[in-house]
């Protein structure tokens, strides 16, 4: 059953709000999958994959692969794969994170990925991520926490102290963006114990904490995602890149016909190159595919019959900076999905995969647009090319037009996520690969 656009957008907003980190995004997706009857698999266990079955498996609690096996499995049908990433650029807390300076208490932070730093100033910041601890039973366990309160802020420097701020502003990531979280009263310990804050968050979730051991924590903007514009033409939110695609792919998978095999791949660490344990340039996808079809010949044939759609946001044309786009490739919001092409293989689209997708869009009556980067600017990339190369799979790169990519608050069109959902559902159901 397909939901309407308003319900879809509300679901997207709730999903992003509940997912301040890749761990939370993965958990949000597993909750939806569990409700839809998908069965959890663990890489440590023996798997018993049945035809017609629906399964999911996570790695590092921050990457997820979910799939359904066709009821009547035919190797020539292949698997329709949709791929996205769970991570977004942000500020993370360093292992030694608290310090006092000039009477202020501050966080020592590390920049994760290609964050646009300027928008992080003057925002109310919460803390979220995974914390490891020893519980009352003496066990070493972990849980996710979300402190959705304004515990920190990075104040701007007044223009009176930097008269060049509007002409010439550089941001030193080591010195200039440490958030403040309070004032000191002498020793740090007198005023504030960071591990106490973490223990409190865990206790409020029903844990009895003996000792906090370690953490992977990020700062995030506590402002909720929302519809924006005089006619609500936009969705404004953190992490639209790329939780919008995770959510869209998730719903498409759940709505797909049961007579074809499809797979959703959402991996962490795209923003830092994907070469990691849970990343798309690791062996997660390869291993899962091998366990579905252990026979090498069958595995190779299955992948050769398959196709991947790598979904990651595209650059909408910006009315104030029109010259940043190629003059004939200026994607507009709410005017359709964007197929991303790059002859130098920064995107994995080929004329073949583009033709498959265009045929789907024509059949479904969905508009589509093309993006091709200016020749005189270095082009970004996605998990598309590395997955195509690693797995040997025909791949297409698409996305919804977005403004402010990698800002702490990005902007997408209010119709585009929904039309991507319709297109991906049709992709999962297409007989023509």
Where does 293-382 have alpha helices with state H?
296-304, 351-364
CB of 87 to Co ion, least distance (A): 8
Tracing tokens 């609500």 back to the chain, one arrives at 232
Of the candidate spans 18-26, 240-248, 284-292, 384-392, the one that interacts with Co ion by CB under 5 A turns out to be: 240-248
- Rounded CA-CA distance 333/319 in Å is 11
Sheet holding 63-68, edge to edge: 39-41, 54-59, 63-68, 261-267, 79-85, 307-311, 394-399, 337-340, 368-371
Q: What is the DSSP letter of 72?
A: S
Closer CB to Co ion, residue 120 or residue 194? 120
CA angle 161, 167, 169 (to 5 degrees): 65
- Rounded CA-CA distance 61/245 in Å is 18
Q: What is the DSSP letter of 279?
A: B
Closer CB to Co ion, residue 54 or residue 92? 92
Q: Is 241 in the site for Co ion (CB under 5 A)?
A: yes
CB of 270 to Co ion, least distance (A): 6
Of the candidate spans 11-19, 192-200, 273-281, 307-315, the one that interacts with Co ion by CB under 5 A turns out to be: 307-315
Closer CB to Co ion, residue 3 or residue 272? 272
Q: Is 242 in the site for Co ion (CB under 5 A)?
A: yes
- Rounded CA-CA distance 425/90 in Å is 31
- Rounded CA-CA distance 397/313 in Å is 10
Which residues from 41-100 bind Co ion, rule CB under 5 A? none
Of the candidate spans 18-26, 118-126, 172-180, 304-312, the one that interacts with Co ion by CB under 5 A turns out to be: 304-312
CB of 312 to Co ion, least distance (A): 4
Closer CB to Co ion, residue 310 or residue 369? 310
CB of 414 to Co ion, least distance (A): 20
Which are the contacts of 151, defined by CB distance < 8 A and separation ≥ 6?
125, 126, 127, 181, 197
Kindly tell me which residue out of 312, 397, 410, 416 binds Co ion, with binding defined by CB under 5 A.
312
- Rounded CA-CA distance 235/241 in Å is 12
Q: Strand, coil or helix: what is 357?
A: helix
Closer CB to Co ion, residue 221 or residue 312? 312
Confirm if 238 and 16 have CB atoms less than 8 A apart.
yes
Return the number of other C-beta atoms located less than 10 Å from residue 304's C-beta. 13
Which residues from 185-204 bind Co ion, rule CB under 5 A? none
CB of 315 to Co ion, least distance (A): 11
Closer CB to Co ion, residue 117 or residue 145? 117
CB of 339 to Co ion, least distance (A): 16
Closer CB to Co ion, residue 184 or residue 248? 248
Q: Strand, coil or helix: what is 221?
A: strand
- Rounded CA-CA distance 399/249 in Å is 11
Q: Is 268 in the site for Co ion (CB under 5 A)?
A: no
Of the candidate spans 58-66, 97-105, 176-184, 308-316, the one that interacts with Co ion by CB under 5 A turns out to be: 308-316
Alpha carbon distances (Å) from 197 to 36, 65, 80, 146, 324 = 35, 33, 44, 11, 44
Of the candidate spans 41-49, 70-78, 134-142, 233-241, the one that interacts with Co ion by CB under 5 A turns out to be: 233-241
Closer CB to Co ion, residue 78 or residue 401? 401
Closer CB to Co ion, residue 24 or residue 406? 406
Tell me the number of residues near Co ion by CB under 5 A: 3
Of the candidate spans 92-100, 177-185, 281-289, 305-313, the one that interacts with Co ion by CB under 5 A turns out to be: 305-313
Q: Is 237 in the site for Co ion (CB under 5 A)?
A: no
Closer CB to Co ion, residue 221 or residue 241? 241
Of the candidate spans 196-204, 234-242, 246-254, 323-331, the one that interacts with Co ion by CB under 5 A turns out to be: 234-242
Going through 159-203 in order, the beta strands assigned E by DSSP cover: 180-183
CB of 84 to Co ion, least distance (A): 8
Question: What does the binding site for Co ion look like in residue numbers (CB under 5 A)?
Answer: 241-242, 312
């Amino acid at each position: 059953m397909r939901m309407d656009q308003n319900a879809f957008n509300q679901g997207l907003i709730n999903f992003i709000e509940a997912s301040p980190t890749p761990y939370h995004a993965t958990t949000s997706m597993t909750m939806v999958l569990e409700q839809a009857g998908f069965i959890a698999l663990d890489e440590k266990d023996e798997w018993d994959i049945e035809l017609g079955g629906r399964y999911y498996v996570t790695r590092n609690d921050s990457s997820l692969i979910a799939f359904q096996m066709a009821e009547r499995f035919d190797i020539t049908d292949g698997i329709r794969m949709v791929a996205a990433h769970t991570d977004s650029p942000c500020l993370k807390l360093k292992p030694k994170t608290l310090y006092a300076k000039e009477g202020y208490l501050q966080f020592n932070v590390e920049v994760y990925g290609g964050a646009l730093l300027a928008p992080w100033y003057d925002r109310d910041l919460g803390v979220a991520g995974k914390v490891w601890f020893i519980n009352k039973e003496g066990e070493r366990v972990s849980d996710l926490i979300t402190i959705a309160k304004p515990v920190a802020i990075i104040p701007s420097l007044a223009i009176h102290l930097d008269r060049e701020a509007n002409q010439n502003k550089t941001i030193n990531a080591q010195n200039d963006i440490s958030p403040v979280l309070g004032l000191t009263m002498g020793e740090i310990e007198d005023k504030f114990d960071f591990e106490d804050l973490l223990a409190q968050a865990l206790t409020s979730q029903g844990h009895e904490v003996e000792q906090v051991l370690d953490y992977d924590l990020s700062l995030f903007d506590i402002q909720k995602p929302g519809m924006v514009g005089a006619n609500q033409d936009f969705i404004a939110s953190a992490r639209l890149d790329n939780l919008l695609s995770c959510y869209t792919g998730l719903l498409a998978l759940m709505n797909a016909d049961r007579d074809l095999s499809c797979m959703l791949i959402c991996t962490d660490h795209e923003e830092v190159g994907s070469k990691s344990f849970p990343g798309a340039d690791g062996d997660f996808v390869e291993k899962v595919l091998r366990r579905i079809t252990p026979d090498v010949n069958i595995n190779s044939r299955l992948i050769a019959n398959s196709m991947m759609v790598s979904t990651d946001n595209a650059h909408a044309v910006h009315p104030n900076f029109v010259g940043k786009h190629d003059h004939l490739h200026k994607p507009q919001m709410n005017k359709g999905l964007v197929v991303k092409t790059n002859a130098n293989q920064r995107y994995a689209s080929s004329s073949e995969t583009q033709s498959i997708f265009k045929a789907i869009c024509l059949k479904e009556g969905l508009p589509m647009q093309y993006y091709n980067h200016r020749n005189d600017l270095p082009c970004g990339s996605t998990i598309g090319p590395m997955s195509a190369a690693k797995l040997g799979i025909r791949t297409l790169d698409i996305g919804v037009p977005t403004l402010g990519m990698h800002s702490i608050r990005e902007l997408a069109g209010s119709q585009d996520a929904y039309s991507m959902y319709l297109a991906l559902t049709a992709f999962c159901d297409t007989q023509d690969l």
